[in-house]
Amino acid sequence: MNTVHLHIPDYIILVIFLLVTVYFGFRFSKKQNSTQSYFAANGKIPSWAIGLSILATLISSITFLAYPGEGYSSNWILLVQGLMVPIVLLTTIWFIVPLYRKVIGLSTYEYFEKRFGSFARYYSSLGFVLTHFSKMGTVFFLLALALSNMSGVNTLVIISLIGIVIIILALLGGIEAMIWLDVIQGFMLFGCGLTCLIIILYSVHGGPAEVWHIARVNGHTGFGPYKWNFKKLTFVVMAINGLFYGIQKYGTDQTVVQRYLTAKSDKSAIRASLMGVFLLIPVWALFMFIGTGLFVYYKQNPIPAGMRSDAVFPYFIVNNIPTGVVGLIVASLVSAAVCSLGADLNCLAAVGLEDYYKRIYPNKTDKQYLKAGKWMVAAAGIGALLIAALYLSAGDEGVLGIVFTLYAIFSGGIAGIFLLGLFSARANRQGLTIGIIACIIFTAYAFLTSTKIGTGNHKILLLNLGKYNFTHNKLMIGVYSHLVIIGVGYLASLFFPKPILDKSLLYIGWRGVKQENNIKK
């Protein structure tokens, strides 16, 4: 079976999409005359558009390629993390949104400073930066890998070309252009994914029933193993990890919180969040099941040996999808990356500007801050391109597994800081600082004693402490780091004076305001 590359109509469709994308940047560039418009769209975006934007920023090319790759090589266990998000959101979004819209200007981590001081702000914002650089590098890499397999063009060349387009778009259009492109991308991604799934199901001899039968017999359905075991990748590990992921994503992640600020009101932002997450689960499930279908299809039609699981879906697209339709799918894939990465660049620049640059240069004009923010967008884009190049040696682990592992490590207890600050009036700055130090020590220990370097049978641990090595699954590093922050931070706080707090920073403050409003009604 020889690989078929893109045809001229496919390239025409892709070029048209890229031109439309650049047009969006120029279309909104005239409105980007202040930091408020560039980073928060002056708080005038409708809730339905923000909801689709939240959906788009959380799916990106990772969903389009890594989820099918995981469904192809395994079962649906990595989907469990996403299934936990609605549970978290339904119990927290009601007070998280008004909290942030009231107490911060632009950076999520301003809340951490108001609650625990500047060290907490710098630590949490740095965690966000590291996490999202790793995520952005992954998105760039996956996109380049897919387009390289489809077109035959060198992966590094594609990374560079698409990266330049994304940086230009982010520089020109600001967050408003990203959000409206997200709306288009959301429809494109879901429509193309559904089209591909239908084609795959009916390309298998025996149809959907045979897909389900073969996948089930070969262990490619379900969310197991279901054992109570933290050393392996189990349902329990993914479920616990997913709960903290949901808290961190919707409670502490700049890419989501910044979208709260673009809404017209608290209620609008809450509606947008609920809409985004309840659309997210079907989309994640759709692309995971595409991988399941591909596993069955290539059981019947052998695939070339040595192909990465992340490359299987692009291989199917160029070999089995009609010309023209392939162009639309590739445009959807590029759109997913462009929107996600453009928004990430904007959010990284917002954090860099608010948490660092303004501290170093406190007396500049808004125009000067806007200019600095745009320079940060360009720098962040170049940094993400360099990280993408490093992913070329990612190995056989699978990119989705790598992303989840890096997220667990770089999260560094940030959700724990948020929970401690929100629910404990007794927790104070000194106690949290001790908790963060304990968290850093634990994370370093767990990572070093569980990570091997080398090749083949010659891999060795970075640090070998024998029976004291960290032996649990790496996704648990993130869970334990949050628990260390909460436990050590609270206990250490008891040795220092009780802080004098603005109750609006606490959950009980929100409850009090809500009760007062109910009484007035």
Say how far apart CA 275 and CA 259 lie, in whole Å: 13
Confirm whether 45 is domain-assigned. Answer: no
Q: Do residues 382 and 460 both lie within one domain?
A: no
Q: Which residues sit opposite 453 in a β-bridge?
A: 460
Say how far apart CA 40 and CA 181 lie, in whole Å: 15
pLDDT band at 2 (very low <50, low <70, confident <90, very high): very low
Q: Do residues 382 and 458 both lie within one domain?
A: no
| Surface-to-core class of residue 22, CB atoms within 10 Å of its CB (0-12 exposed, 13-18 middle, 19+ buried) | middle
Query: Cα-flanking dihedrals φ and ψ of residue 361, to 5°?
Result: -125, 80
pLDDT (0 to 100) of residue 323: 83
The single residue listed with the structure tokens 């469709």 is: 13
Q: Give me the numbers of helices (H) and strands (E) for the chain, helices first please.
A: 21, 2
Summarize the chain as % helix, strand, coil (round to 5): 80, 0, 20
pTM of the model: 0.85
Each residue of 29-67: b (16+ CB within 10 Å) or e?
Answer: beebeebebbbbbebebebebbbbbbbbbbbbbbbbbbb
Show Cβ contacts of residue 217 under 8 Å, excluding neighbours closer than 6 positions. Answer: none
DSSP 13-42: HHHHHHHHHHHHHHHHHTT--SHHHHHHGG
More confident residue, 431 or 256: 431
Instruction: Say if residues 278 and 375 touch (Cβ distance below 8 Å).
Output: no
Say how far apart CA 494 and CA 131 lie, in whole Å: 31
Q: Do residues 261 and 384 both lie within one domain?
A: yes
Confirm whether 275 is domain-assigned. Answer: yes
Q: Do residues 454 and 369 both lie within one domain?
A: no
Confirm whether 1 is domain-assigned. Answer: no
Mean pLDDT over 341-370 rounds to 91
Confirm whether 340 is domain-assigned. Answer: yes
Say how far apart CA 251 and CA 108 lie, in whole Å: 9
Q: Do residues 431 and 300 both lie within one domain?
A: no
Q: Do residues 378 and 469 both lie within one domain?
A: no
Confirm whether 195 is domain-assigned. Answer: yes
What's the domain range around 116? 8-25+60-393
Summarised one tens digit per residue, pLDDT across range 391-411 is: 665 444 455 555 556 655 666
Tokens of 197: 């799934």
Torsion angle, alpha carbons of 201, 204, 207, 209, to 10: -90
Q: Do residues 326 and 292 both lie within one domain?
A: yes
Confirm whether 408 is domain-assigned. Answer: no
* Domain end (from 393, 423, 453): 393
Q: Do residues 380 and 424 both lie within one domain?
A: no
More confident residue, 25 or 466: 466
Is the model's pLDDT at 385 over the cut of 60?
Answer: yes
What share of the chain in percent tops pLDDT 70? 93
* Domain end (from 337, 358, 393): 393
DSSP 452: E
* Domain end (from 393, 427, 449): 393
Confirm whether 517 is domain-assigned. Answer: yes
What's the whole-number average pLDDT of the chain? Answer: 86
CATH code, domain with 331: 1.20.1730.10
More confident residue, 308 or 321: 321
pLDDT (0 to 100) of residue 291: 95
Show Cβ contacts of residue 466 under 8 Å, excluding neighbours closer than 6 positions. Answer: none
DSSP 228: S
The three-state (H, E, C) secondary structure of 37-97, written as one string: HHHHHHHCECHHHHHHHHHHHHHHHHHHHHHHHHHHHCCCHHHHHHHHHHHHHHHHHHHHH
Number of domains into which the chain is organized = 2
Confirm whether 400 is domain-assigned. Answer: no
Q: Do residues 220 and 266 both lie within one domain?
A: yes
Alpha carbon 414 to its chain centroid, in Å, reads 15
Q: Do residues 442 and 302 both lie within one domain?
A: no
More confident residue, 388 or 399: 388
Q: Do residues 387 and 421 both lie within one domain?
A: no
Summarised one tens digit per residue, pLDDT across range 452-496 is: 877 667 788 888 999 999 999 988 988 999 999 999 999 999 999
DSSP 263: B
Q: Do residues 387 and 521 both lie within one domain?
A: no
